[in-house]
Chains A and B, each alone.
Chain A
Amino acid sequence: MTRADSGATRADRGASRAERGARTKLPPEEPAIPQGKGRGTAGYWLYLLPGFVLLLVIIVIPLIFNVYLTFTKWRGVRTPEFIGLDNWQKIFTDEHFWTSFVNSIWMVLAMVVVPTIVGLIVAALLFDVIGRKFGGKVGSFLRATYYLPQILPIAVAGIVIGWIFRPGATGAMNQLLGLVGIPPVDWLGQMPSALLVLMAVLVWVQIGYPIVVFMAALQRVDPELYEAAELDGANWFQRFGAITLSIIRPEVFVVTLTCTIAALKVFGPVYVITQGGPAGATLVPAYYAYQEFFTRRDIGYGATIATVLTVLVVIVSIIFIRVQSSLERKERAGL
């Protein structure tokens, strides 16, 4: 009780510090509307009621139910049978689970590492070179082009790619290779090409997001900084490292956090393109859980996989947020 209280006040203080940073003069503990007749903040809870009730019914209760299911054997009919830690024991020795886990790392490479690095370069080029030398219109047009795959339903994107990488001579990729005399490849039927295709799709889908975010962030950079650096004889790479990167670091953080979470949760492309195949080689945790739920009907085990995934997502989020706020604190202390 006391620990939770002190935690809350510490967090509140943190929030008020952030607010001061944003140049607001609002006292942190009082509502922004002057309180009539001493009603305080209590009345505002009424506004939270619908949101809280929905959150409870749709998120909190199912989540708890899901954790309970991890201790049961259940085929989805009759009542779940309590089996203690069996599912948890199974998951640690389950080869498929570890495969899916390792594949998550490949998904992070495809959805976070590559898009962020390429996105940084493209955004800097579009803003700094294309935008300045060839006009903002060219820059925005190219930015929109890179962004387009982002708004496609992932299922549709997956189908298109699955079709491009069809086995045999009818697939677009194989036809293209045929022109230079390479025999058709069974892209999705073997490793490592199946995983590589999956990753290529994710890069294609993701690339627009960092570009748009980084380009917007670059608008904060004062052009005079660049001009000054240029006069001082700094080359493009030096300016990029010293000015661009340091100014858009918050955006880099947000992009890597949101993309890492998305990469851990990835389901649609796997479902549509490889179905986890060949022989489970492109399995990811989300798809594995789905299979346990609806194909193998081992609900308890599916729930266990889903729970591990959830814990992983929460840990990653906490680490990111911690690192980010400690960096911010250091930066503020340095000023």
Chain B
Amino acid sequence: MSATTAIVTPGKVRRARGGMTKKRALDWVLLVGVILGALIIMVPFYLILVNAFKSPIDYATSGPFAIPSAIDLSGIEKFWVRVNFPQKVWNSIFISGVVAVLAVLISVLNAFAIGIGRVRGRTWIVLLFLLANLLPQEALLYPLYYMFKSVHLYDNVWSVIIVFTVVQAAFGTYLLSSVYGTFPKEVLEAASLDGATRWQILWRVVFPISRPTLSVLLIFFFIWTWNEFLIPLTFLASNDNQTVPVAISVLQGDRLMDVTTTAGSALLGIIPTLIFFLIFQRTLTRGITAGAVK
């Protein structure tokens, strides 16, 4: 319910209220405290960044905290080549992208029936979908593994795509149903009077108007699917099908990997997320808010 407002009016209330100039000593102390906390949060990122560009010898002599004495790309290069990184990035993009689009479509269809069509027993339907999202994936893992093996979808990116489409759409249905539940009735009535069918109303009225919410969902589904671990780890056995997180963790088991290669792999694993973060920072914030306040 509040989701619509959260999405439509982000941060409207936020106004600096006069008091900007009255800074007491305590305020400065608190500022320093919060900055210190933020610095602690950033330490692992700093370590990755610094060590990804070191040579193993440089790491051995100067330690993990020092700035590299010379830029050395061998760690990154080793990881890039060994796991065929571009392939992994493509797999991740393909899986997450297809899941995001399909899951949004299904969420829209479900939410249209529940929020606008108000089918009977909708509260239970929403709870059912919510439950599908909350379930521990372990409870589905072996049956799905078995099912995909028997239909020859095991070790195929489509197995992961189907599973996450359903899981993400379950959350999307839950969120969108309450958004559509408060959809302005006048607009729907006007379209109906103009002779539009339900199908037309969905795609020509409801869909365009809710596009901001849908784009938030799309981005979230993409990132969530990108970060998923258990199911891709189990269902994507061969090297050619793995996603970025799985490839990094599989390589980790390789005892021969040196510290700088680990840092290199972590850096390459972080870069895509960092790019999403920089592009979608505002959308992310809005999305979390929308998700949180149902």
Contacts and interface: CB of A to CB of B under 8 A. Distances in A.
Interface string B254-269: 0000010011011001
B65 A176 contact: yes
Main SS class of interface, A: helix
Interface in A305-330: 305-307, 309-310, 313-314, 317
Given A58-B166, A172-B65, A144 B112 contact: no
Main SS class of interface, B: helix
Interface of A: 8, 11-12, 14-15, 18-19, 21-22, 24-26, 28-34, 36, 41, 43-48, 50-51, 54-55, 58-59, 61-63, 65-66, 69, 76, 122, 125-126, 129-136, 138, 142-149, 151-164, 166, 170-172, 175-176, 204, 207-209, 212-213, 216-217, 219-220, 223, 227, 250-251, 254-255, 258, 261, 264-265, 267-268, 271-272, 285-286, 289-290, 293-294, 299, 302-303, 305-307, 309-310, 313-314, 317
Contacts of B128: 55
B249 A272 contact: yes
B71 interface: no
A63 B140 contact: yes
Contacts of A149: 41, 44
A290 B262 contact: no
Given A148-B45, A156-B244, 14 more contacts: A11-B123, A15-B122, A19-B182, A33-B192, A44-B113, A125-B30, A132-B20, A134-B27, A149-B41, A153-B229, A159-B269, A160-B266, A163-B266, A290-B234
Contact of A33 (B22, B30, B198, B246): B198
B221 interface: no
Interface residues of B, number: 119
A210 B252 CA distance: 31
A136 B17 CA distance: 11
Contacts of B181: 19, 24, 26
Contacts of A208: 41
B83 interface: no
Contacts of A147: 284
A144 B37 CA distance: 13
Contact of A44 (B112, B147, B227): B112
A43 B199 CA distance: 11
Interface in B139-182: 139-147, 162-163, 165-167, 169-170, 173, 181-182
Nearest to B258: A170
Pick the most buried of A41, A160, A306: most chain B CB atoms within 10 A of its CB. Answer: A160
Contacts of A158: 249
A170 B259 contact: yes
A267 B230 contact: yes
A251 to B, nearest CB: 6
B245 interface: yes
21 contacts: A11-B123, A22-B2, A24-B181, A31-B118, A33-B191, A46-B113, A47-B110, A130-B31, A134-B27, A153-B229, A156-B270, A161-B44, A175-B63, A208-B41, A209-B288, A213-B292, A254-B294, A289-B138, A290-B138, A302-B138, A306-B136
Contact of B34 (A130, A135, A310): A130
A153 B109 contact: no
Contacts of A32: 115-118, 183, 185, 188
B110 to A, nearest CB: 4
B41 to A, nearest CB: 6
Nearest to B63: A175
A142 B273 contact: no
Contacts of A142: 34-35, 38
B92 to A, nearest CB: 9
